Amino acid sequence: MEPNTAEAETAGDAPSPKISARDVSVYYGEKKAIDNVSIDVFTRYVTAFIGPSGCGKSTFLRTLNRMNDTISSARVDGEILLDGEDIYRSKMDVVQLRARVGMVFQKPNPFPKSIYENIAYGPRIHGISSTKSELDGIVEQSLQRAGLWNEVKDRLNDSGTALSGGQQQRLCIARAIAVDPEVILMDEPCSALDPIATARIEELIDELRGRYAIVIVTHSMQQAARVSQRTAFFHMGNLVEYGKTSDIFTNPREERTKDYITGRYG
């Protein structure tokens, strides 16, 4: 897959950000893990978060759909707007939020249920579909979009956990897609996969970006360069540099970015 930055750049009119983070800091108890980060994320772009282990990529990613709520010591300061609305406001329905801003994890985590149920569960609890035939349609379409349909269409009643690692990860992507999200967050989605399964997921990400805002955390510089149009480099809780992926990799402004992408640390 060729880098596709130029295409995204010429795609035209300046859109408003899907997610806008303003002065976001995250603490675990007394310890500050993210320090005053502001960033805008756009639909139809893949945004890559890169940086050395422990710099706060996962922590910051989790603020974008309030996954940090599940960690009792975590506290988030600042503002995160989804289509201009503060997701940390008290009236926010967090279950609804996580359907709008879906997440795919490092280790594929299908439910211990059938392939069909893995996909149908979300639309059912969110009341997206009422009839069996509607649900069947969503299951097929989600699996199609995730590039898994042909491999599983004859075994929808098999357990999701019986699939290969790469298939499980595509199942998890299909599950996220099924509730019609606006943003998909992926935290090192390929790190447990072999190169072929990884290439599959990268192609899929490129296909999906037409519809969603996608944010991907990756340790692979090659992957960031292949799949993303925007790259954010984090270091020790700070957002050091954010820009076009081609600029970050060929012409970084900051010394720390240069050191990281040339492999001097991390």
Ligand X SMILES: Nc1ncnc2c1ncn2[C@@H]1O[C@H](COP(=O)(O)OP(=O)(O)OP(=O)(O)O)[C@@H](O)[C@H]1O
**Where along the sequence are the contacts to ligand X (CB under 6 A)?**
28, 33, 51, 53-59, 71, 73
Beta carbon of residue 232, minimum distance to ligand X (angstroms, whole number) = 12
Residue 83 dihedral angles phi and psi, to the nearest 5°: 50, 40
Which of positions 37-96 make contact with Mg ion (CB under 5 A)?
Answer: 58
Q: In angstroms, what is the minimal distance from the CB of 76 to Mg ion?
A: 17
Report the alpha-carbon distance of residue 11 to residue 216 in Å, rounded. 21
Residue 101 interaction partner, one of ligand X, Mg ion, none, beta carbon < 5-8 Å per kind: none
Of ligand X, Mg ion, none, which one does residue 53 interact with (CB within 5 to 8 Å by kind)?
Answer: ligand X
Q: Which is nearer to ligand X, 204 or 239 (CB)?
A: 239
Smallest distance, ligand X to C-beta of residue 58, A: 3
Residue 59 interacting partner from ligand X, Mg ion, none (CB closer than 5 to 8 Å by kind): ligand X
With CB atoms as reference, the residue minimizing the distance to Mg ion is: 58
Q: CB of 7: closest distance to ligand X in angstroms?
A: 29
For residues 8 to 47, the per-residue mask of contacts with Mg ion, x marking binding by CB under 5 A and - elsewhere, is: ----------------------------------------
Judged by CB, which is closer to Mg ion: 41, or 216? 216
Taking the complex as a whole, how short is the minimal distance between the CB of residue 173 and ligand X, in angstroms?
20
Residues in contact with Mg ion by the rule CB under 5 A:
58
